[in-house]
Structure 1
Amino acid sequence: MLSLAKNVNLLVAFLLELGVLASVGYWGFTVGQNWPVKLLLGLGAPALFIAAWALFGAANGAVIPLTGFARVVLEVLWFGGGAAALAMAGSVTPGIVLAAVYLVNAALRLLWNQ
């Protein structure tokens, strides 16, 4: 049973990563004043997040994998950025939910050495 819970927690972590990208894209498409700016922000911001995650955060494929405190800082900036993007786009409650789910997920990953 614990094995199933651990696998579900890893699935939630992956879905949270996708949620951050969707949140940042949503933010970009809502804050732009005209379509060229909306496209630039809506596609460019997630691209920057993807680049940062690929360089430092991807579980087994990071170019420069971070560990320890540096990894904690990266995750707080990554997932906090997604939550903040939702809040700045006017979706405060979903931003709070994203942050809360991340905190529970991170605590379980720490507890279970994932």
Structure 2
Amino acid sequence: MSRLEGANLVAMFLLELGVVAAAAVWGFTMPGNVLVRVVTGLMAPILFILMWALFGAGANSRFPLTGRWRLALELIWFGGGALAWASATTPLVGVISFALWAINAVLRVRLQGSLIPGD
């Protein structure tokens, strides 16, 4: 594995953490009473984590996706994170988040031949 591949995998991990953080921030800052914000702030990241664990965690996922299905999952997952950042902060933060994922995805395909890390 080259240094660039390793750095890109670290970047992907940080982007994944960013999506979970975005879901939490979105939930805790949404309008509503405290109970709604707490429940949403806890449940949104849990749902994102479950989706990633079931379908996106590379070779360790319960139902690994490849090809177009993997791309669809990542578009939904990282796009959802970008929308959460945009809603909770500013649209620019969401655009930057999505752009970083797109760069990371292109690099994964160019360096590894696949979106799935370690493939």
TM-score by length of 1: 0.94
Do residues 19 (structure 1) and 13 (structure 2) align?
no
Structure 1 counterpart of 2:94? 95
Matches within 5 A, 1:29-108: 29-108=28-107
Q: Report what 1:10 is aligned to.
A: 9
In the superposition, the TM-score normalised over structure 2's length comes to 0.90
- The 1-side partners of 2:59 and 2:25 are apart by 28
**Distance (whole Å) between structure 2 residues aligned to residue 103 and residue 90 of structure 1:** 20
Q: Which runs of 5+ in 2 are unaligned?
A: none
Unaligned runs of 5+ in 1: none
| Matched length | 113
Name the amino acid aligned to 1:41.
T
Question: Are the counterparts in 2 of residues 32 and 41 from structure 1 also a CA contact under 8 Å?
Answer: no
Could you list the structure 1 runs, at least 4 aligned residues long, displaced by more than 3 angstroms after superposition: none
Output the CA distance in 2 between the equivalents of 1:60 and 1:46: 22
Return the alpha-carbon distance in structure 2 between the equivalents of residues 100 and 64 of structure 1: 27
Q: Deviations over 1:15-38 (max 9, x none)?
A: 000000000110001114111101
Instruction: Find the counterpart in structure 1 of residue 110 from structure 2.
Output: 111
Alpha-carbon offset, residue 93 of structure 1: 1.6
Q: Deviations over 1:36-94 (max 9, x none)?
A: 10111101011001111000000121000000100000000000000001111232121
Q: Which residue type is aligned with residue 14 of structure 1?
A: F
Counterparts of 1:8 and 1:64, CA distance in 2: 26
**Do the aligned partners of 1:24 and 1:46 also contact (CA within 8 Å) in 2?**
yes
In 2, distance between residues paired with 1:82 and 1:10? 18
